Structure formats: structure tokens, C-alpha cells
Chain A
Amino acid sequence: MSKHRDLGLTDFEYDLIVEKMGREPNEVELAVFSLMWSEHCGYKHSRPLLKTLPTEGPRLVMGPGENAGAVDVGNGLSCAFKVESHNHPSAVEPFQGAATGVGGILRDIFAIGARPIAILDSLRFGEVAESARSRYLLEHAVAGIGHYGNSIGIATVGGEIYFEGPYEQNCLVNAMAVGLIQTDELIKSAAAGVGNVVVLFGARTGRDGIGGASVLASAELDTDMEKRPTVQIGDPFEEKKLLECSLELLDRKLLVALQDLGAAGLTSSSAEMAAKGEVGLDLHVRRVPLREQDMEAFEIMISESQERMLCVVEPDRVQEVLAVCAKWEVNATAIGEVTDTRRLRVFDGDELVGDLPVEALVDECPTYELEPAEPATPLYPAPPRVLESEDPGEILLGLLGSANLASRKGVFEQYDALVGSRTVRRPEQADAAVLLLPDPANGDKLTALSPSKDDDGPKPAIAMSIDGNGRRVAADPYRGAVEAVLECSANLACVGAEPLGLTNCLNFGNPEKPHIAWQFSRAIAGLGDACRAFGIPVVGGNVSLYNEGGEGPIYPTPVVGLVGELPDARKSGRLGFQTAGDVIAIVAADSWAPSNAASELSKLRGEAVEGPLPHVELGELKALHAAIRQAVRSGSLSSAHDVAEGGVAVALAESALAGGLGATVSALDDLFGEGPGAFVVSGPAEAMTPFGAAARVIGEVGGDVLSIEGALSVPLVDLDRAFTRGLSDLLE
């Protein structure tokens, strides 16, 4: 008897299931348990650590546990957001894997009633210059994201990509979605009302994605091709109809509860609805509209076919619900009832084929204490040396032209960043995307979430950013994770936004191995400490473990998505220099201590991936970010950009390229070192006064050359060539 092992359950877990059931589970029941107790659904190696993250904040509206988190953005509105991984499916079939990653995270947003308005994505691949496979994965993942987001009409406004050897076999595709909703219209997923009807609507159910959560998402990847049938196929047109249909159902107050079908399909959506509502559900699998007629009961229960939703409806509203679905040309079928049994019962015709205790499925999945141990030897090989020059000008060109720092234009131009007409800052215009909030005066339903057409007065907006540098976390898991939060907060500060809430996607290797457990626990400690110091609640997220194969684990990659607010989008900060004659200043914390450890330069030089990363005073950085934010909001600065990968020299070059203006800068102590706590800003001299001693004027905007005294003098055209071609040449 090893069927449970094929499904990813241990003998211990199987025995526990037998104990909870009071008997041996049948095939349907075992399939359901294997999914609900998978790492992906049950968080069995991560739950104890996740509980240490701060989840309270004054603006929090909905925290972890629902389909997405939400924060208050004023005027009775909430912003819902969440990031989720689709790593393993994307490694197997990048176009569909990435596309359905976007589709899945969008459903999480509209499952709570919010209208999605933005997508961001965080991608990791192997060395794109060396690896044809990584180029293939990049091309197809980007195409898949664009295909889904563009076709459904939701703006892809930001994101980030890094290329590193340890992602060669395990690429990462994390997608974040952001939505808006009137706070009093948020809907939860708890099933309620014994006798109410369970309606499944959306696409038909097929055999795609069977076992995806347990087989793909909860174990190490090895034989890719055999797993291709477990990848789902996305249809953004179906989801567009599903989105409009779901929002109309909610607008008409026809639903008691709503839940999307994601990992583990009908199984997890129904079990979670029942568990949250403390009720039972009877489901009739033969009523489910199928794509293939000969599907087994267990296959129907665990299929991960995309573009499906499950709702609970009062019996006398069912006809209205079906009529709205028919209007949007969406299939809808009553497939079950809410009961008081607290059991999930599955019927195949008249036959009871599964009878499962809901609490055991959802709340009693065993959790495992990790056994962290700091590795005695380096986990990751040093990258190959690709830069020999010691000349600062050549180093700068090498950095700007490296795949990690080069322009992402060839990627983001494949995404519609503008639909919704609310995008104030597009990619490469600023450190964070800025989107207008709706005008409370828009009375009608159609435009209730659209920006104002009044051209006067302040324009409240939200800003968003996503980041997470795996190499730095690999070098120093605690400080690297702290830096991910700081980087996002710094990005928001540069457009004038204050953080409201954070979502994270924790991408790690196999947590059952002590050194991965060490990375994971140190990184979560860092995330938690940074969030607490900055007063930012974690509103939800996702964990993706087992990202490793024969060649070892990925870099530990906690990806952080941050949403903030700004009072007036007309004052949104810009990345590029604007005006010749402006002074340039570095605004830095006292504790800022950039170093070469785990920097982009260290990578190009083939140095070992090792820490320690610079120490940071979180309280001081919080004050620094606030000072930058205030200066941007006042409108006194022409540009603001945080010093990150590639150090001050790259930050200066990026501001010069974005503005099409050169700069003349005095001698600098450190050109390429990295460490949080500094910004490059430009503006009139008096704009630097409010920063006091934190600002040090280093030069002036103007000309068509970037020159740093005693170090380098490079024409903008040369910088531009390196920056523009670094990645796009690899894609042609």
C-alpha cells in the first residue's frame, strides 16, 4: 500500500488520516487529503514561521486567511492585493504556467469582490546570456503574462527580473495583482446558511492540472516532461467574462459567499468555504460540466482547470444567478448544498463516494518544526567572472549592460500598462508605479472605480512596487530579507508614497533540509523585523518551497510586494533628471555603509556569494524614507531614485538615462558598493535644505556626459547603448 506516497503523503500522514477518518480512506478521499495536506495548501512546513509576521496595522481591512488582503485607501475604498507563485508550472511550460499564474492571482482579487486594476510580476531565470533554456523560459513566460493581462484588460504596471545561475532549473514566476473595492462591499469566502445552494460557474472542468498542487508545487522538480499534463491551460477571454459576471453577481447582492478555484480545484475551494463557515457541503460531481465525459469522481474533485468560481446562493436567488451568468455567456450549474454536517460529502450520482471531516482537511494538517542549521560550507558556487576591467567607466558600462541591470523595455513594452487610464508613472519613469484612485464623485456604477475627469485639485493615488534580490538573501538571509522590504519602501518613497501593507511570496528550496530551513527562518525573521520597524502589516501572501533539483536549491528569494498611498499624483516623483542646472545630492542615512558583498559588481567579477551585508539602523531608515517622501510630496525635487544594485554610479546613470541629461559629479568615496540607506536626488539647491546634514551635494545636472571626478567620464550615448542592448540583444 504505497498509493499515498505516490500522492506525496508520508506514512505518518497516512496513519493520521486513517485515525481522523476512523477507517482507511477510499480513492477519492485519499486524493482530497493528499492535496489539502500538501505543502501548497496546508503550509505544513511554513505555518509556524508565518505566524511570527506582523499582521496588524491601522489601515488593515482584511488580513491573511482570505483570498487576498486589503488596506484602507480612503473615501470608503479599499485596495486588495496579493502575490502568488506559479514557479513549477512555468518551469515545465512557461507560457501557460505564467499566464495561469496571472489568471489565478486575478481570481483571488475578484473573489473578494474587488476589481483588479494592476498586475506586477517578479521573475527569476538562469543566466540568460549563457543559457538557451533561460532565454526560452524568459521569452515564453513574458509572452504568457502579456497574453493574459493584455487580453483581460488589466494593466501590467511593474515588476522585476533577475538572472542567476541557481534559477537555471527552477525559474520563478511570481505574479501580484492589485484591485479596488468599496470597503463595505468586500465579500468573504465562508459558506453559510444550511440549505443554501452551491453554484459552480465558469469554464468546464477537464483533466488539466490534475495533482498540480501536490505533484508540482510541493516536491522537487525532476522529470519535467512527464509533468506537462499537470500544467493548466489559461483562457483570458473566459476569465474576462468570469470577472465581469462575478462583479455583477456581487453588485446585485446575489451571493452569500464567493471563492475562486485555484490549486486543488473544487477540493480546496469547497473545503475552505465549509471550514470558514463551520458548515458542511454536499457536492454532486456528475452535475459538474465536463470537458471530457469519462472523468472519475476524484479527477473532477481535484482538476485544476482554470477560470472557475464557486459561490453560495440562497435557493430563491439561484435563477437570478444563472441568468446573470447566461448574460455573460458563462456556464453555471448548481452542484451542491450547504449542510450542518461539517463534512465534505462527494456524491457520484446516488452513490456517496467521499465523506470527509472538514476540520481535519483544512485545519488539522500536521505542521512540522523546521530543523535549521547554518551551513558550514557555501551552498552556492561563485558565478563565472565576466568582467575583467578595473576602469570605473568600463565597469559602469559593464554593469548597465549586464542582464540584471539593463533596460527592461523589451519586456515591459509587451504589456499593456495603460488600460484603465489611471497609470501616472509607467515602467522606467519612476521607482514605483503610480495609479490614480477613483473619483468619489463618480456616481455611476460603470465608472465608480475610474479616475476623475476633473482636471483641478489633488489627485489621490496609490503606488506599488515588487522586489527581492535572491543573491543578497543567499549571502545573508536575515539582512537580505530586511533589504527586500527596505527596497520596496524606498521605491515608494521616491514617488512620494507611504507604505500601507505588504504581501510576500516566499520562494525557497526544500525546507526539510537544515540549511534551507536556516535560510527560510532567518529570512522570515528579517521580514518580520523590517515590517515591525516600519509599521507595515503583512496582509497575505504565498509560500513556494521545494524549488530545487539535482543542481541544488535556488537562491532563497522572498519577494515583497508593497502598496502605498500618496495624496496627490500630480506630485509623483520621477526617476530621471529633469532640468539642466539642478544640483544633485546624495541623501543618506548616517549608518549607510555600502560594500561590495554580494553586489552586482561582485557577481560580474566572479566573487563568492557571501556576506555579511551592511548593518542597517531600521529606525534611521524609516526616518530617511519619510524625509524623501515629504520632499517628493512637496514637489520641490526634480528627481528621486534610490541607490540599489550597482551603487551610486549606476543610480546616477539611470537618472541620467531616464531624463536624457548628463551630470557632472565630484569625487565619490564609493561608486559601485551596495547597501540600503541612500538616494540620488536632483532639484534646485534650496530643495536640499530640508534634508539637513543627510544631504550632500555632489554635482550638477547638464550636458550629454556622465562624469565623476577622478573616476569616469562616459557619454550618455554610450551608457544608453549598453543599457538598451544589454537584455534586448539577448532576446532578438
Chain B
Amino acid sequence: MRFGVVRFPGTCDEVDAYLAASRVGEAEILWHADADLKGVDAVIVPGGFSYGDHLRVGAIARFAPVMVEVDRFARNGGLVLGICNGFQVLCEAGLLPGALLPNTSLRFTCRQVDLEVVNASTSWTNATAVGDTLSIPAKHNTGRYYAPDPVLDEMEANGQVVLKYAAGHNFNGSVRDIAGVSNKAGNVVGLMPHPEHAVDALTGSADGLKLFASAVAVPA
């Protein structure tokens, strides 16, 4: 499987995402100004501070030429993973429901957190089991997931709440402890914690690798 990793000006985690993806497949960088996905099988929109987070997190990146193609790809069932800033971008682009608000602490926080798998049948979690605990670092200023209650109820009914913070790990104040969500079809997933930084026990945990391995396991 070939993963494409989007690079905007201000993206910080693209090399880590590229390396994580290349542990389970091949990877290449997709430049923000090129409306071209180079025929990849899955797209990762990585973390960082695209366009300096100017205006509002993710608000400028969604208009990048490459995002036109990511949008088309996602709506045609292509596998898309948004991590941290990438999650924010996918929400801004309307590919995922809800929005990310500033942490309740109003502070940037970098912390290893435990996530609980709620839906193990999305394209990015099918190598896990419901109830699994994944140890993955989170690091952000604007990671408090929010959607109105009726939307949340519908998302839960649809299995769109994919990952939750384990008890005591929801440091950002996300509604219903939500750490990661999907679209209805389950091909597009976004999460605030960083699975690409959790691919080697030596640097803290290898649990994040399961998300990349999940994409590989999706039948072509």
C-alpha cells in the first residue's frame, strides 16, 4: 500500500507520519500546492501548524489545492487519516463532523494518554479490537472535540466515535471523552493524539502502528 502524506507550510509531523507509514507500506509526500495525489492508496493529513494556524486552526489549509483532491478522494471512499492539525483540517473541510476548540486549560499540553477503541471496524482501526487500550502521545493547544448533542447522539449510533480518552486521560475537555471520530462510511478518520509518534517501544509505545496497519488490512 502506498500512503501519501500531505505537507503544508507549517506542517511539523510529516516526516514522522511518512516513517510510520513506511513501516507497513510505502510512503510519499504530497505538496500542498499540487492538486495531485500521485495515485496513492491512502492519504494522511499530518500534524503541525499549517499556515501558522493563522485565522483559525485548519481554516486556511482546507483551501490548499491538494485538499480539493483529498476531498474528492475521501468522498469516493479513499482512506484518509487526519492527525491533530490534520484532524482540524478535515473538520474544517467538512469531511468529519464536529470541531476542535481550545483546551479547557487554554494551554498547550504534551502528554502520553491512553485511548480506548470504541469502533474497531473503520479503515484505520480494523487491526484493533473494541475495548483495546492504546498508549499514544497527544500534544496540542486546540484539541477539545465538540459537536452538538444531537450530532453526537447520531455519531454514536452510527459508530462514528472511534476512539475515546480512557478515564482520567481527557486533559483537553473533549465532549464525551472523544479523541477520534470517523465519517459515516468509516474511510475517513481523525484523531488528536499522534499515532505516528508511537511506532517504537523505545520512544514510548508502538501502539500507534496499529492504525497504519489497519489501513493496509483494508481490502483494495
Contact = CB atoms under 8 A, between A and B. Distances in A.
B10 interface: yes
Given A414-B110, A421-B197, A153 B54 contact: no
B204 A418 contact: yes
Interface in B162-203: 194, 196-197, 199-200, 202-203
A418 B9 contact: no
Contacts of B54: 237
B138 to A, nearest CB: 10
Nearest to B33: A327
- For the residues of A in contact with B, the DSSP-based class is loop
A185 B178 CA distance: 46
Given A150-B139, A414-B108, A569 B15 contact: no
Contact of A418 (B23, B108, B137, B202): B137
B107 A235 contact: no
B108 A419 contact: no
Given A237-B51, A421-B196, A446-B18, A436 B202 contact: yes
B36 interface: no
Size range of the chain A interface in the assembly = 35 or more
The listed residue with most A CB atoms (<10 A of its CB), out of B13, B22, B29, is: B13
A328 B54 CA distance: 17
Interface string A313-329: 00000000000000011
A570 B202 CA distance: 7
A150 B10 CA distance: 11
B49 interface: yes
A447 B108 contact: no
Contact of B107 (A414, A416, A419, A451): A414
A704 to B, nearest CB: 20
A418 B141 CA distance: 15
A419 B13 CA distance: 7
B9 A329 contact: yes
Contacts of B196: 421
- For the residues of B in contact with A, the DSSP-based class is mixed
The listed residue with most A CB atoms (<10 A of its CB), out of B11, B22, B200, B202, is: B202
Contacts of A255: none
A416 B51 CA distance: 19
27 contacts: A151-B10, A151-B49, A152-B12, A153-B12, A153-B13, A153-B48, A236-B49, A236-B52, A237-B10, A240-B52, A241-B10, A329-B9, A413-B111, A416-B139, A418-B110, A421-B19, A421-B197, A421-B199, A421-B200, A421-B203, A423-B203, A426-B204, A446-B29, A450-B15, A451-B200, A453-B19, A569-B202
Contacts of A238: 52
B203 A151 contact: no
Interface string A322-353: 00000011000000000000000000000000
Contacts of A426: 204
Contacts of B22: 453
| 7 tightest A-B CB contacts, nearest first | A153-B12, A237-B52, A421-B16, A151-B49, A416-B139, A418-B197, A416-B110
Interface in B87-117: 107-111
B53 interface: yes
A241 B199 CA distance: 27
A415 interface: yes
Contacts of B110: 150, 412-418
B22 to A, nearest CB: 7
Interface string B12-36: 1101101110110000010000000
Nearest to B52: A237
B47 to A, nearest CB: 8
Contacts of A294: none
B101 to A, nearest CB: 18
A420 B141 CA distance: 19
Contacts of B16: 419-421, 450
Contacts of B20: 421
Interface residues of B, number: 35
Interface of A: 143, 146-147, 150-153, 235-238, 240-241, 328-329, 412-424, 426, 436, 446-447, 450-451, 453, 455, 459, 569-570
The listed residue with most A CB atoms (<10 A of its CB), out of B18, B54, B110, is: B110
Contacts of A329: 9
A450 B13 contact: no
A671 B202 CA distance: 35
Contacts of B203: 418, 421-424, 436, 451
Contacts of A151: 10, 12, 49, 52-53
Contacts of A450: 15-16, 19
A287 to B, nearest CB: 25
Contacts of B109: 413-414
A570 B203 CA distance: 10
Given A421-B19, A450-B19, A453-B23, A146 B29 contact: no
A451 B16 CA distance: 10
A139 to B, nearest CB: 10
Nearest to B28: A446
Contacts of A417: 110
A414 B202 CA distance: 22
A446 B23 CA distance: 15
A450 B199 CA distance: 13
Contacts of B108: 146-147, 150, 414-416
A416 B196 CA distance: 14
Contact of B200 (A147, A419, A455): A455
A147 B23 CA distance: 31
Nearest to B16: A421
Nearest to B23: A453
B194 to A, nearest CB: 7
Interface in B118-152: 137, 139, 141
Interface string B197-213: 10110111000000000
Nearest to A732: B105
Nearest to B13: A419
Contacts of A420: 15-16
Given A414-B107, A419-B197, A421-B196, 15 more contacts: A150-B108, A152-B12, A413-B109, A418-B139, A418-B197, A419-B12, A421-B200, A424-B202, A424-B203, A446-B29, A450-B16, A453-B19, A453-B22, A453-B23, A570-B202
A60 to B, nearest CB: 29
A625 B139 CA distance: 35
A156 to B, nearest CB: 9
Nearest to A423: B203
The listed residue with most B CB atoms (<10 A of its CB), out of A238, A420, A569, is: A420
A451 B137 CA distance: 18
The listed residue with most A CB atoms (<10 A of its CB), out of B15, B51, B194, is: B15
Contacts of B197: 418-419, 421
A329 B29 CA distance: 18
Nearest to B54: A237
A304 B182 CA distance: 47
A459 to B, nearest CB: 7
Contacts of B9: 237, 240-241, 328-329
A55 B205 CA distance: 40
Nearest to B141: A150
Contacts of B107: 143, 414
Interface string B23-65: 1000001000000000000000000110111100000000000
Contacts of B48: 153
A107 B7 CA distance: 22
Given A416-B110, A419-B197, A447-B18, A240 B10 contact: yes
